[in-house]
């Protein structure tokens, strides 16, 4: 998938599946699955050329917009399910007493993980809603 995105990224003109297959020496199935995934993420779009029956594909070339789309996808696929799972585990009543050292340690570890994940989720949500100037300003401050 990375090779396909990279090739589309450096290509000035949109490419069709056959172009990707020929230039990368990969299977049609690999191209179809990878392109579909990249479209779902928002990193690649379908392009129709007048007079052509083939579908062509073009990559998102703006690094900031690419980062935002990846952040949205990672948040949806990784952060949100983890927060849901941690909340469910935290709500489970245990038959053990709170005096059980292992249980206390487990609850503390899960609470620490939940807190860390919530802070990262808040950061991702701010990044997704931000404009490019705000993001560049934050990065400049971090790198000083």
Q: What angle do CA 37, 61, 67 make, to 5 degrees?
A: 65
CATH for 50: 1.10.10.10
Q: Are residues 23 and 75 in the same domain?
A: no
Question: Does 55 lie in the same domain as 69?
Answer: no
User: pLDDT band at 11, cuts 50/70/90?
Assistant: very high
Q: Do 7 and 24 meet the contact criterion of CB atoms below 8 Å apart?
A: yes
Are 69 and 118 in a shared domain? yes
Is the same domain home to 80 and 30? no
Distance CA(114)–CA(120), nearest Å, equals 10
Domain span at 77: 63-143
Is residue 71 domain-shared with residue 138, that is, in the same domain? yes
Confidence check: pLDDT of 97 > 70: no
Q: Is 45 in the same domain as 70?
A: no
Integer Cα distance of 45 and 85 in angstroms: 33
Residues 6+ apart with CB under 8 A from 29: none
Last residue of a domain, one of 59, 89, 105: 59
- Helix ranges (DSSP H) in the chain: 2-10, 17-24, 28-41, 63-74, 80-91, 101-129, 132-143
Residues 8-27, mean pLDDT to the nearest whole number:
96
| Statement: the pTM of the whole predicted model exceeds 0.85 | no
Q: Could you tell me if 55 and 77 lie in one domain?
A: no
Q: Residue 99: pLDDT band by 50, 70, 90 thresholds? A: low
- Residue 60: band (very low, low, confident or very high) from pLDDT cuts 50, 70, 90: very high
Which residue among 42, 59, 76 closes a domain? 59
Q: Are residues 39 and 98 part of one domain?
A: no
For residues 114 and 77, state if they share a domain.
yes
Number of domains in the chain: 2
Q: What is the pLDDT of residue 6?
A: 95
The whole-number pLDDT of residue 106 equals: 84
Domain co-membership, 136 together with 73: yes
Whether residue 8 sits in one domain with residue 24? yes
pLDDT of 98 strictly over 70 = no
More confident residue, 128 or 92: 128
* Predicted local confidence at residue 94, as pLDDT: 54
The per-residue pLDDT for 108 is 87
Least confident segment among 16-30, 42-56, 58-72, 92-106:
92-106
Q: Does residue 89 sit in the same domain as residue 49?
A: no
**What is the overall mean pLDDT for the chain?**
89
């Amino acid at each position: 998938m990375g090779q396909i995105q990279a090739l589309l990224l450096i290509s000035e003109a949109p490419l069709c599946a056959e172009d990707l297959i020929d230039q990368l020496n990969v299977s049609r199935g690999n191209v179809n699955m990878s392109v579909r995934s990249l479209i779902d993420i928002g990193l690649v779009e379908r392009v129709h050329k007048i007079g052509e029956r083939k579908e062509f594909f073009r990559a998102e070339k703006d690094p900031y917009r690419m980062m935002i789309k990846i952040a949205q996808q990672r948040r949806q696929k990784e952060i949100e399910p983890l927060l849901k799972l941690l909340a469910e585990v935290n709500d489970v009543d245990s038959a053990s007493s709170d005096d059980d050292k292992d249980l206390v340690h487990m609850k503390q570890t899960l609470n620490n993980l939940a807190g860390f994940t919530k802070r990262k989720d808040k950061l991702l949500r701010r990044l997704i809603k931000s404009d490019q100037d705000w993001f560049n300003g934050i990065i400049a401050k971090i790198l000083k």
